[in-house]
Chain A
Amino acid sequence: RDGRLPTVKEAGRSIHEIPR
């Protein structure tokens, strides 16, 4: 290992949702 973490995919929401 070179000390770097693996790339992780996050499938959930990334930001807040602006209201309608």
Chain B
Amino acid sequence: DSCIQFTRHAGDVLFNLNRLRSRDILTDVTILVDHQRFRAHKTVLMACSGLFYAIFTDQLKFNLNLISLDPDVDAEGFGILLDFMYTSRLPLRDSSIMVVMNTAIYLQMDHVADTCRRYLQSSEDI
């Protein structure tokens, strides 16, 4: 049906969610990754990651407010992906692309992992 479509609304909402995160407003979970703590909103995490979707839809786990990830998960890679969730921007650096891809696989962020794979493939082609 006809309407007024605000084309940047999704981005504006995401921007404000990131502001809420940076001010620790209504954040409801701490993610512990290799001794580093990351505060976040469960709803954003589960909207972006299959792993967090599975955790927070589990009747035994949805109420947890501290989640420790596998000790093999890289804190820098997690930080980059958490920033991506709140900004839609994924920095491309040769030094971090592998760790970002492996962390994306762990978090079941399949589209990001596929994109990293394609980026690595195209880098090899060059």
Contacts and interface: CB of A to CB of B under 8 A. Distances in A.
Interface bracket on B: 10 to 19
Contacts of A14: 6, 8-9, 12
Contacts of B54: none
Which secondary structure characterizes the binding site on chain A? Answer: loop
Contact residues on A (Cβ < 8 Å of other chain), bracket? 10 to 19
Which of the listed residues B6, B7, B20 has the most CB atoms from chain A within 10 Å of its own CB? B6
A18 B8 contact: no
A17 B105 CA distance: 33
A8 B16 contact: no
Nearest to A16: B16
A3 to B, nearest CB: 10
Contact of B16 (A6, A7, A11, A17): A17
Contact of A7 (B2, B19, B23): B2
